[in-house]
């Protein structure tokens, strides 16, 4: 079950008198090479982002600012996380349906991705995702 591979990753940080510096390195802090970064910001409080699954893509999701909820579903089991620390990432393997919601004001969701953007890697329809899980 893919949801068992979901994990919280505590990211290293350097703290000194000037402030804090958080670090993510591909294949060191996350189990993949980072090919792409994108970020969600100015998200409306009642908006849902995500609502898709990936065929191959792996991701690390970090609440760089503020907080939001990540609801996960591997087609069999569900899990939900509240992200609100900029030194904590949520690792998602492939084949996880995810929905991001309850964004706080000024929340920023940073996503580190294992692949370049490829619309063919998406299941954007939940029924198609469930069919694919059953076929595995
Ligand atoms: P979408 O997948 O709906 O965002 P969410 O993560 O909330 O599900 O993406 C919104 C639009 O942006 C959609 O037209 C696809 C496009 N997009 C890119 O062009 N490149 C990217 O790296 C990403 C993540 C999305």
Give me ligand 1 centre to Cα 15, in Å. Answer: 34
> Candidates 35, 36, 37, 38: which one to mutate for ligand 1, based on the most atoms within 8 Å of Cβ?
38
**Which residue owns the Cα nearest ligand 1 atom 19?**
117
- Cα 94 vs. chain centroid, distance in angstroms? 11
For the question of whether the overall pTM of this predicted structure is more than 0.85, the answer is: yes
Give me ligand 1 centre to Cα 7, in Å. Answer: 23
> Residues 20-40: pLDDT tens digits?
999 999 999 999 999 999 999
pLDDT of residue 13: 98
Residue 1 has pLDDT above 90, yes or no: no
Q: Residue with structure tokens 């390195």?
A: 25
Tell me the mean pLDDT in the region 3-19. Answer: 98
> Residues 80-125: pLDDT tens digits?
999 999 999 999 999 999 999 999 999 999 999 999 999 999 999 9
Ligand 1: which residues within 6 Å by Cβ?
36, 38, 49-50, 52, 117
What is the 3 state secondary structure string of the chain? CHHHHCEEEECCEEEECCEEEECCCECCCECCCCCEEEEECCCCCCCCEEEEEECCCCEEEEEEECCEEEEEECCCCEEEEEECCCCEEEEECCCCEEEEECCCCCCEEEEEECCCCCHHHEECCHHHHHHHHHHC
> Candidates 55, 98, 117, 129: which one to mutate for ligand 1, based on the most atoms within 8 Å of Cβ?
117
Give me ligand 1 centre to Cα 24, in Å. Answer: 22
- Is 52 tagged catalytic? yes
């Amino acid at each position: 079950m893919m949801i068992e591979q979901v994990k919280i990753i505590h990211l290293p940080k350097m703290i000194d008198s000037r402030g804090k510096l958080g670090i993510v390195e591909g294949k060191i802090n996350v189990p993949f090479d980072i090919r792409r970064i994108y970020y969600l910001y100015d998200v409306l409080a009642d908006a849902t982002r995500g609502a898709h699954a990936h065929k191959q893509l792996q991701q690390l999701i970090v609440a760089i600012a503020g907080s939001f909820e990540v609801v996960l579903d591997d087609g069999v089991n569900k899990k939900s996380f509240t992200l609100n620390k900029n030194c904590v990432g949520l690792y998602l393997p492939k084949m996880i349906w995810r929905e991001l919601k309850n964004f706080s004001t000024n929340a920023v969701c940073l996503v580190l991705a294992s692949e370049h953007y490829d619309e063919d890697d998406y299941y954007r329809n939940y029924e198609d995702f469930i069919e694919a899980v059953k076929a595995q």
